[in-house]
A and B are shown apart, each in its own frame.
Chain A
Amino acid sequence: MTTQSMHGGNVAIVGASETDRIGALPDVSMIHLHTNAARRAIADAGIDKSEIDGVATAGPTPIEVADQLGIRPRWVDGTMIGGCSFMALVRHAAAAIASRAASVVLVTHGESGRSRVGVPGYGRAASSISGQFEAPYGALAPYSSFTTPVLAFMKARGFTREDLAEVVVSQRLWAIPNERASRRDPIDVEGVLAAAPIAYPFTKDMCCVVTDAGGALVVTSAERARDLPSADRAVYLLGSGEGTESVIVSQMDQLDSFGPFRRGAQEAFQTAGLSHDDIDHVMFYDAFAHLPLYMLEDTGFVGKGESAAFFKEGHTRPGGDLPINTQGGGLSYTHSGMYGMFAIQEAVRQLRGEAVVQVPDVKTSFVQGVGMMFGAGGSLVLSNQRG
């Protein structure tokens, strides 16, 4: 049994768009960040709405997203595993399309993360596992929970706060020319360390921006993609993986390494039939500065303990040999709450040659997501060639 029918370029992203605006949008409800991006992605694909028979989203139900858009799908997926839900949803959509359970799938995201217009109340049940065993201690916001394992990671690797700051500096270089990015001021390591303290060892610039934003994708078979007006801009799914670990961060199997990154990436490379040397461009979900360091090591691009030097030496910067987070990432570009959609959007732009800061000759992109604060992971290998 192989997963080749859903991978290997048999399924393509044919439409991709973010909301027309991102940032502070107090005039738009959460659901209409979904619908704005969805309508733009459908137009981008050049496909008629009537062909969409699958709807996938995380947060609101796919019932509402479909209904708001006047779609009556025969296939839905509401998998909610946090910010990497969209990696998983692309993967699930590919499986559905390969098995003909769906023909054209719309994947949507939208969050009023900053303005909080039309969103369910923030918080979690006091009787949930996190409500009983983490929230009472202050681990409520991502900055006070997602960050708890990092000192153990830094100690195990011999990393310093300067190493965290280097990640921010590298990514800011990509954001500076990008007018849609939230943080565009040049910054150096000293500047990152001098920023307002949020949760030691993290300063403000080591934490993502908080914005209102949405994004959507249209996914279909390579056969259908070939006949669309967007055919020459199709982005193919070569491989993918996903997985979960614990429902609370304190129960990570290892504090200095995350199983879903290791296993999901391994499966993604294996199903794609590619090695790390074949990858031209990388998107790492960076809600906080430690995540690209974990991911670089856990997904196998570098060895244990080598990630910090890799950032410091400039490999990931503009002009580097492994460009990472090329719109500035969650740290500088945008972060609505579930950032995964924006990592995929930038990978698609790079593969289409339509990025603001375009990397030359990108043929392959690796995208690694994380969800629920070290709860889940999702990995995609994408290409502008069918494979």
Chain B
Amino acid sequence: MSEGPVPEPTPETRPFWEGTAVGELRIQRCNVCEKFYFYPRPYCPTCLSEDVEWRAVSGRGSLASYNINYRPMPMFKTDQPQVIALVELDEGVRLMSNIVGVEPVPEKLPLGLRLTVGFEPRGDQFLPVFSPAADGEGE
């Protein structure tokens, strides 16, 4: 269990958080534009169609950008640096997450690093977090 702010689902975002609770990363896709989008909305932000669906995605992506936060806010109850990252999923959407399972130093975090999702309990929710993919995985 990691300490920190607990996300509070709304009716429109609940399927995302129901997914993380069962180990799935669910992202919405517009059936008209045939494109995934994020963050959750009950319609496509490009064409405004309501013909959208939730899909479990691969959970694979790459490291687009990040900072290493040496001063986590007190509610995280940690003095360990946080890698606050922007992850580009292979399905074409970008989301913020933490990179875990790797030493939080720039040398271990080249941009483009291949990542896979995992799920970490936080309060009554599960957060999607990412760690470096095993060699070749997802290439």
Q: Which residues of A line the B interface, CB within 8 A?
A: 125-127, 129, 131-141, 143-145, 147-153, 155, 197-202, 248-251, 255
Contact = CB atoms under 8 A, between A and B. Distances in A.
B70 A126 contact: no
A150 B65 contact: yes
Interface stretch (B4-12, B28-36, B50-58): B4-12
Interface in B54-110: 64-73, 76, 81-82, 84-86, 94-98, 106
A138 B99 CA distance: 12
B13 interface: yes
Contacts of A145: 84
Contact of A255 (B39, B86, B122): B86
A354 to B, nearest CB: 38
Contacts of B13: 132
A124 to B, nearest CB: 9
A137 B67 contact: no
Given A152-B86, A251-B39, A126 B67 contact: no
Interface in B5-48: 5-10, 13, 17, 38-39
Contacts of B6: 126, 136
B84 A139 contact: yes
Which of A138, A152, A199, A202 has its CB near the most chain B CB atoms (within 10 A)?
A: A138
A127 B9 contact: yes
B5 A127 contact: no
Contact of A125 (B8, B17, B106): B8
Which of B13, B86, B95 has its CB near the most chain A CB atoms (within 10 A)?
A: B86
16 contacts: A131-B5, A131-B7, A132-B7, A132-B13, A135-B5, A137-B97, A138-B76, A141-B73, A145-B84, A150-B67, A199-B68, A199-B69, A200-B68, A248-B96, A249-B96, A255-B65
